[in-house]
Amino acid sequence: MEGNEPLPQTAKLAVDSGKGLIFISDQMGRRIIKLLDRLFCDDLGLVNKREEELIALNREQRRSHNAEPIAHKALLYEQAGALEMSRLLWERVLDLDPMHDQAALKLDRLEIEVMTMNAARLKEKAIEILKKVGPESARLQYSKTIQLYEQILAMDPSNKGIVAEKKDLKERFQKHEGESPGLKPLSVVRITMDNLFPSLMQQYQEQPIGKVTIKNTLERDIHHLKASVYIKHFMDFPRISGEIGVLGPKQSVDLELFVLFNQEVLNLEEDLKVQAGIELSYLVDGQLQSLRESKALTLYRRTAL
């Protein structure tokens, strides 16, 4: 807590008598406050080295008003495994000292670690649903996990662990889809997309920003193959590519990808990593089928070119 901030008037309490800690659940403020009972600890000879260090850093922070005590607190929280709190503190360090020699690198690494942890939880949930119910019920968790993997790889392309996790999850889904009585999806061989500039939004209406390479893995023709692109917040609706009338068995084709931005892109003050959703739709024996993929890219600030 900062300075002499008052405690909440209505709250629930919990204590850890082994460490001399008091936890206050501030439901109105939607937070947990942790207090150290110094007298209790002294009476019982309890030593809370990390808490004492945090108290000393808080005291130094109030006295010095510079970024270093906050940076030290961020390192302590990271060592304790509280990555979100550490990331929040490093952001405060950058606010106070934009040229700090560690903050930017720490933030990038912590963001990757947090996304990796979230991806692991999502993957576990996706596999659980996949085994118990089936691929279609697990598709939402699957898509979210793949998107996180792509975001991590956009920041750290050489992350072999994430490449392996992504491959493993895709193979699990392909195996279950192959065992299901429904049709197998098309094979997306490759997706290439440029990073995008708001200042070129008019040109993008006519010029493709990339392409998707598709292979027909079925033993029959597919008809009316189309691809669409959608970037949340910056497009009002998906932009559909040209149509391929017929794609025969084992044949491959490239579909160009287009975007139609709304005016929101002109408000971007800084570069932003976004997920572009790509949806393929086609007919097999008169039945409409679809397949969704995503691709991470950078949407540059409005003044960039």
The fold adopted by the segment(s) 185-305 is: Immunoglobulin-like (2.60.40)
* Tokens describing residue 294: 């995503």
Average pLDDT over the chain, rounded to whole? Answer: 83
Task: Encode pLDDT of 47-97 as tens digits.
Answer: 667 766 777 777 777 777 778 888 888 888 788 777 788 888 888 888 888
Per-residue tens of pLDDT for the chain, all 305 residues: 444 566 666 777 777 777 777 777 776 666 777 676 667 666 666 666 776 677 777 777 777 777 888 888 888 878 877 778 888 888 888 888 888 878 888 888 888 888 898 999 999 999 999 888 888 788 888 888 988 898 888 888 888 899 999 889 988 887 776 544 455 567 889 999 999 999 999 999 899 999 999 999 888 899 999 999 999 889 999 999 888 999 999 999 999 999 999 999 999 888 888 889 899 989 887 778 888 888 889 999 988 87
Rounded CA separation 276/103 (Å): 29
The fold adopted by the segment(s) 102-182 is: Methane Monooxygenase Hydroxylase; Chain G, domain 1 (1.20.58)
Task: Please name the helix (run of DSSP H) or strand (run of DSSP E) that holds residue 124, with its range, or none.
Answer: helix 103-132
Rg (CA), the chain: 26
* Tokens describing residue 224: 């009316």
Could you check whether 102-182 and 185-305 share the same CATH topology? no
Q: Where are the domains of the chain?
A: 102-182, 185-305
CA distances from 256 to 45, 65, 278 (A): 70, 54, 11
Rounded CA separation 21/26 (Å): 16
